Structure 1
Amino acid sequence: MEQEQDSRPASASQNPRSSHQRETSLHSHAWSLEMLLRRLNAIDAKRDDKLASILDAIGEFGTFQWRLVALTFIPSMLSTYFMLSDFFMVTAQRPYCNTSWILAVGPNLSEAEQLNLTLPRASNGSFLTCLMYIPVPWDLDSIINFGLNYTETCKYGWIYPYAEKRSLINEFDLVCGNEPNMENMQTIFLAGILTGSLLFGILSDKLGRYPTILISLLGLLVFGFGTAFVNSFYQYLFFRFAVAQVSVGFTICSVSLVMEWLVGEHRAQAVLLQHCFFAVGILLLSGLTYKISHWRLLFLVGSVPMFPLLCTVWVLRESPRWLMVKGKVEEARKVLCYAAAVNKKTIPLNLLNELKVRGKKVTKGSILDFYTKQHLFKVVLAMSCAWFTISYIYFTLSLKIKDSGADIYFRQVVPSILEVPARLCCIFLLENFGRKWSLYLGLILITIVCLFLLFLHQELKSTIILMLMLGEFSLAATVTIFFIYTAELLPTVLRSTGLGMVSLAWAAGAISSLTMFSQIKSQLPIIICCLSCILTLCFSSLMPESGSHTLRDSIDYSRESSDFKDRSIDISTVVLPEESMSDVDSTDEVTKNTMLNAMPLKPEAGSFFSMDLEKPKNKELVSPAP
């Protein structure tokens, strides 16, 4: 009895430990089952996407994909070439009034003697640029002996005796009150991006990726090549407005087409390489402007590669995802078979036969869905905030570099060289940390740079320029990550329209930066950079990870995915190793359903998980495939 009594306290003392072990075991068991459920759901999603299976059969990155991606490099390079040419077209020139009237009485006068007799001088001895002596009907000796006293503004135009290059300034006499305002020129260009991003985004989702790309390439040829033949400065501004429209249109449509043809990490790598050619375009522009002395010839040389490009654009094919969304199943099969033939692959006939439109009706979408659909509204709101921030910071830092007194070639060439390694580093970040954490790293680094700029003394010019270069490096990487992340979060039916809408925010951020920096000469623009970065970090935390999932096609699928994220078990946050996925994939349907039935989870009625758990009740699903 005493032993029994003694054993009771001992067992009682062990109860807390045993209960803790049981709780740990239950938590571990629930966690493992939860992981299994996520894996099975990922497998089901991949199997439901028949198009992804066909793209795998075609080859992840074969000859067709290489050709598709390579054809986007040259237009990307040329679009940047045309977009940034304004910085080299408006170079400083020292004009003088045209006083060739004196050559009628003194034809043998040298240029220096002509200027000395007909132009008034400033207090420092230099010739005034916008005034001339009033012509008089005297002979040359009288003019030399008595001199001229009365002045007026230039009546017969201007001359540029010390100009080394032919630019817009001396072509259209943009001097003496007619000087072009660079902020206004950039605002007109950004207005073209505003209208073009929305116009070409909607056209791409309505007409298709291929015809919209063809329209943008033709526009780039017509308006880029045609800029060399304008007769006035206002015509030049109109052509620049049109070039901005078609350039942003090509960028949006090409990214949509490339991402919908490629699978896995190849999507991100292709967009990264395409963005690297933006920097190549800037370097090409800088080198040609250094060698070519006439601005018209610069546009002619830049347009030459467009002619062979338009002759080879026929090798592009429409996006099969867009065709499936529009219900064009037969056309989707044809382009998939063409891609397989180019890659020398064979698509299993059963996969082609299983390719069909999901649901009873063809998926439709409009721009109003970004307001009515909660998931789309959240994605566009968060990404628009991010694009506004990045654009505002990019233009603010660029204007800061300009104020530091750096040469125009330094301001364009050095950041362009830094952009290439910055974007190549993104490949490592995206593959190892995912979209969201790569985005966080870029935004945090930009915030640190802005904080340093805020507290650095203005006399430390070299340190400020170094921090500005570091900021340009971070911005280049962040812009590319944002582009990939946004395109993956948007559904196929509204992918280009969504990219166009976030491009509106990009243009709005640029215009805000130009306006604020020109009006405020304090540290307030940098303070706003820091605050906007923090705000963007908060908005970005609302977005799910997108790298490990297939592209979304319909609006309903996007809404459904947002509902999944709100559940207690978040499927989208788990990155699964391929080995474990392949192990589960090899399990037949009977085993999977048995394991699912054994799970002690009780999901809510009508939820995604309850729908999955109800699958075993269907005998046709339980029976293994013959």
Structure 2
Amino acid sequence: MAGEGNFKEELRSQDASRNLNQHETAGHPHSRSLEMLLHRLRAVHTKQDDKFANLLDAVGEFGTFQQRLVALTFIPSIMSAFFMFADHFVFTAQKPYCNTSWILAVGPHLSEAQQLNLTIPQAPNGSFLTCLMYLPVPWNLDSIIQFGLNDTDTCQDGWIYPAAKKRSLINEFDLVCGMETKKDTAQIMFMAGLLIGSLIFGLITDKMGRYPAILLSLLGLILFGFGTAFVNSFHLYLLFRFGISQSVVGYAISSISLATEWLVGEHRTHAIILEHCLFAVGSMLLTGIAYSLPHWRLLFLVGGVLAIPLISYVWILPESPRWLMMKGKVKEAKQVLCYAASVNKKTIPSNLLDELQLPRKKVTRASVLDFCKNRQLCKVTLVMSCVWFTISYTYFTLSLRMRELGMSVHFRHMVPSIMEVPARLCCIFILQQIGRKWSLAVTLLQAIIWCLLLLFLPEELKSVTIWVLTLGEFSLAATVTVFFLYTAELLPTVLRATGLGLVSLASAAGAILSLTIISQTPSLLPIFLCCVLAIVAFSLSSLLPETRDQPLSDSLDHSSQMSFQKDVALDLSSDGSFRNKVKDMTTEDTSSDDMSEEAAKNVILNAQILRLDPYPVSNPALKQFNKEEANSQAP
């Protein structure tokens, strides 16, 4: 009712200034009332969504509870990066030779060099061939030395790796001599896990809650990460990597959803940026540990041991109160909020807690089909999917391009990881200054510039190319940070995790496409596609609304309201068509069984405003409405 009173005060002030602005208003008889209608719609909706923000303010915007929540949810990001990029360090290149130990039966005292010289064919340049051997003969050693061996064949008894300094998957499972493609199979299997896990964990997080989804993904990290150290076949290794990838993407979706719904304003921005900085720290930690360990199994053992303490999250991690409210669990939501307030040494006013009531619209029925039915939600999902596809494709293309230049695996990971930290921290400034929408556009524009430079750089300038590739990854790191924050704020609570899962499908698809194109096409074509995709994503990002300083949407109604307000703004100059549109919407909305009493009153009020003459307050219908409102508020 206070909102209705404020609106009538605005109408009375308009009446007082009508004579001063008569000339201006005469040219646009309905513009001022329509602008007030837009302001009215935004104010009512913001006030409705800010009820939960007011509760979080009472709990404490960023007290001890929120600080602990950020630490609990984002520290595991270190382990996510550790397991996600471990593949790059367990396929250390090894030079193989056929196992010709059969000659030791006739010459047990032969040195390794003598054994290779007698049993391995040589290339014209004098180097030993890696995949051929001389067939065994029933001769004594002197005969073999005198006459030599002539018949060659492929390796019969496996391979040896004389120059190997580390034990890797290459010499563990003999991924050589035609088996090298299995390395790409491992990457594709990991991407397939990301693709499937995005959909599965998106649905789990929205259906079962953020808390169980986080626990399930952490359990997967521990079991599959630790268990990888004990696999006895390459196929089993692929299976465990498939499980790890699902856990990694599941944790990313569920943790960002939980943090987004517990934090407000700039604290949400800082927390998500911190998570991504810790992800880069995890990549640096992995590089350092992998460099010092002599065996690939030890790498997964160390990672599994570091992940075991995450089991304690079963007892200390909270659930999202927003999600609880949307599922009708009011009592549980109040308990979680009161606990958070007690940790922050705050007291929530009873009137704020009393405002937590079951939503009249049955939001628990929201499903993945709503991404097709809801126009605004569909647009957001498609645009963000295109952006995430572009980011993923471009990032992997630049990374694989760096590998083609002959850079060591440790350089390819350590240097970009170090640069990612300041790249993500820079997002704090640009997000505060220009908002989410333009921050995404700026970071995408930077990626376009670096990709265009790569197209025109000559191959002889190897050092310059490496720097441009590094700066391209720098820009993409900032883009990823902005993307996750922006997407989480655009999606409603009831389908936030599912939406993040759907756009993550596009990420996996972009990575798989990059791996496929790089292996089958010239080097310039993948970079050219990066430019084209980045330009398309840059253009589509302009279609998205800004979310800075806006309340989080909890239900699907928010998307419809945003779409309606946009249509109103576009039609301010057309009186008749706009009036018909709102009239049709009034008829449609008032017939809805799920519409609240306050919403119905607003629709009626909006319809009456649109029928006003050039001087709104003189309209008898509105006077009668004001009179009835005054009588209803009288004691």
TM-score, normalization by structure 1: 0.86
Task: Give the conservation status (yes or no) of the 8 Å contact 1:370–1:377.
Answer: yes
1:341 counterpart residue number: 342
Counterparts in 2 of 1:446 and 1:235: CA distance versus 1, 3 Å:
same
One-letter code of the match for 2:534?
C
One-letter code of the match for 2:123?
A
- Cα distance, 1:24 vs. partner? 6.2
- Aligned residue for 2:341, secondary structure, equals helix
One-letter code of the match for 1:273?
L
- Alpha-carbon distance between aligned partners in 2 of 1:604 and 1:248, rounded to the nearest angstrom: 52
Q: Are 2:247 and 1:250 equivalent residues in the alignment?
A: no
CA RMSD of aligned residues (A): 3.1
2:629 counterpart residue number: 619
- Alpha-carbon distance between aligned partners in 1 of 2:397 and 2:36, rounded to the nearest angstrom: 49
- Alpha-carbon distance between aligned partners in 2 of 1:384 and 1:615, rounded to the nearest angstrom: 47
- Could you list the per-position Cα deviations for residues 486-536 of structure 1 after superposition, in whole angstroms to 9, with x for gaps in the alignment? 111111110000000000111111122222222220523222222222221
1:195 counterpart residue number: 196
1:545 counterpart residue number: 546
1:277 counterpart residue number: 278
1:130 counterpart residue number: 131
- Cα distance, 1:139 vs. partner? 2.6
- Aligned residue for 1:132, secondary structure, equals strand
Q: Are 2:239 and 1:210 equivalent residues in the alignment?
A: no
2:74 counterpart residue number: 73
1:514 counterpart residue number: 515
- Alpha-carbon distance between aligned partners in 1 of 2:633 and 2:474, rounded to the nearest angstrom: 56
Task: Give the conservation status (yes or no) of the 8 Å contact 2:389–2:506.
Answer: yes
One-letter code of the match for 1:249?
G
2:48 counterpart residue number: 48
- Alpha-carbon distance between aligned partners in 2 of 1:614 and 1:558, rounded to the nearest angstrom: 33
- Cα distance, 1:210 vs. partner? 0.3
- Could you list the per-position Cα deviations for residues 395-434 of structure 1 after superposition, in whole angstroms to 9, with x for gaps in the alignment? 1211222222222222111111111111111011111111
- Could you list the per-position Cα deviations for residues 226-255 of structure 1 after superposition, in whole angstroms to 9, with x for gaps in the alignment? 110111111111111111111101100000
- Alpha-carbon distance between aligned partners in 1 of 2:148 and 2:71, rounded to the nearest angstrom: 68
- Alpha-carbon distance between aligned partners in 1 of 2:213 and 2:287, rounded to the nearest angstrom: 30
One-letter code of the match for 2:48?
D
- Aligned residue for 1:156, secondary structure, equals coil
Counterpart mapping for 1:56-455 below 5 A = 56-359=57-360, 361-455=362-456
Deviates more, 1:330-339 or 1:444-453: 444-453
- Alpha-carbon distance between aligned partners in 2 of 1:529 and 1:613, rounded to the nearest angstrom: 61
Counterpart mapping for 1:32-47 below 5 A = 44-47=44-47
- Could you list the per-position Cα deviations for residues 25-69 of structure 1 after superposition, in whole angstroms to 9, with x for gaps in the alignment? 989999999888777665544442322211110001111111111
1:554 counterpart residue number: 555
1:501 counterpart residue number: 502
- Alpha-carbon distance between aligned partners in 1 of 2:59 and 2:367, rounded to the nearest angstrom: 32
Task: Give the conservation status (yes or no) of the 8 Å contact 1:364–1:493.
Answer: no
- Alpha-carbon distance between aligned partners in 2 of 1:202 and 1:620, rounded to the nearest angstrom: 48
Task: Give the conservation status (yes or no) of the 8 Å contact 2:33–2:610.
Answer: no
- Alpha-carbon distance between aligned partners in 2 of 1:236 and 1:288, rounded to the nearest angstrom: 20
1:11 counterpart residue number: none
- Could you list the per-position Cα deviations for residues 273-298 of structure 1 after superposition, in whole angstroms to 9, with x for gaps in the alignment? 10111111110111111100100000
Task: Give the conservation status (yes or no) of the 8 Å contact 2:74–2:255.
Answer: no
- Alpha-carbon distance between aligned partners in 2 of 1:301 and 1:518, rounded to the nearest angstrom: 33
1:530 counterpart residue number: 531
- Alpha-carbon distance between aligned partners in 1 of 2:630 and 2:347, rounded to the nearest angstrom: 30
Task: Give the conservation status (yes or no) of the 8 Å contact 1:615–1:621.
Answer: no
- Could you list the per-position Cα deviations for residues 362-389 of structure 1 after superposition, in whole angstroms to 9, with x for gaps in the alignment? 5421111101111111111111111111
Deviates more, 1:369-378 or 1:511-520: 511-520
- Alpha-carbon distance between aligned partners in 2 of 1:524 and 1:268, rounded to the nearest angstrom: 36
- Alpha-carbon distance between aligned partners in 2 of 1:373 and 1:621, rounded to the nearest angstrom: 40
- Cα distance, 1:309 vs. partner? 1.7
- Alpha-carbon distance between aligned partners in 2 of 1:332 and 1:620, rounded to the nearest angstrom: 37
Q: Which runs of 5+ in 2 are unaligned?
A: 1-18, 573-605
Counterparts in 2 of 1:615 and 1:549: CA distance versus 1, 3 Å:
farther
- Alpha-carbon distance between aligned partners in 2 of 1:115 and 1:490, rounded to the nearest angstrom: 64
One-letter code of the match for 1:482?
F
- Aligned residue for 1:108, secondary structure, equals coil
Task: Give the conservation status (yes or no) of the 8 Å contact 2:134–2:150.
Answer: yes
- Could you list the per-position Cα deviations for residues 70-121 of structure 1 after superposition, in whole angstroms to 9, with x for gaps in the alignment? 1123321111111111111111111111122222222222222222222222
- Alpha-carbon distance between aligned partners in 2 of 1:604 and 1:28, rounded to the nearest angstrom: 14
One-letter code of the match for 1:252?
I
Counterparts in 2 of 1:613 and 1:138: CA distance versus 1, 3 Å:
farther
- Could you list the per-position Cα deviations for residues 125-184 of structure 1 after superposition, in whole angstroms to 9, with x for gaps in the alignment? 122222222222333333333332222222221111110000001101111222234433
1:460 counterpart residue number: 461
- Alpha-carbon distance between aligned partners in 1 of 2:237 and 2:372, rounded to the nearest angstrom: 37
- Aligned residue for 1:281, secondary structure, equals helix
One-letter code of the match for 1:54?
L
- Alpha-carbon distance between aligned partners in 2 of 1:265 and 1:536, rounded to the nearest angstrom: 26
Counterparts in 2 of 1:534 and 1:145: CA distance versus 1, 3 Å:
closer
One-letter code of the match for 1:205?
D
- Aligned residue for 1:345, secondary structure, equals coil
Counterparts in 2 of 1:623 and 1:301: CA distance versus 1, 3 Å:
same
- Aligned residue for 2:332, secondary structure, equals helix
One-letter code of the match for 1:302?
G
One-letter code of the match for 2:555?
S
